[in-house]
């Protein structure tokens, strides 16, 4: 089993599963509302030229997150 890492560390094309969303309050609620909950599979589909933001695909739609938001999301690479 792979180690848990931050979503920010994933490269385009990598697939992972959300392990934990490490923020509470309004930002945590927004992330949960967008489908970022433990057990959710996702794939990094791209990054902006300066590596921020990161575009991911999950639950049949695309989502873009800033790196400071992606830092709160812990994922485990899919084999």
Measured distance CA(11)–CA(27) in Å, rounded: 24
Summarize pLDDT for 6-43 with one digit per residue, the tens: 999 999 999 999 999 998 899 999 999 999 999 999 99
Return the CATH architecture of domain 4-77: Roll (2.30)
Task: Kindly state the percentage of the chain with pLDDT values over 70.
Answer: 99
Strand order from edge to edge, sheet including 73-77? 4-6, 73-77, 15-21, 41-47, 54-58, 61-65
Residue 79 has pLDDT above 90, yes or no: no
Measured distance CA(76)–CA(78) in Å, rounded: 6
């Amino acid at each position: 089993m792979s180690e848990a890492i931050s979503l920010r560390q994933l490269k385009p094309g990598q697939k992972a599963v959300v392990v934990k969303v490490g923020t509470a309050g309004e930002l945590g609620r927004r992330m949960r509302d967008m489908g970022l909950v433990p057990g959710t599979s996702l794939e990094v589909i791209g990054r902006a030229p300066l590596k921020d933001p990161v575009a991911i695909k999950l639950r049949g739609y695309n989502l873009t997150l800033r790196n400071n938001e992606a830092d709160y999301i812990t994922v485990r690479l899919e084999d």
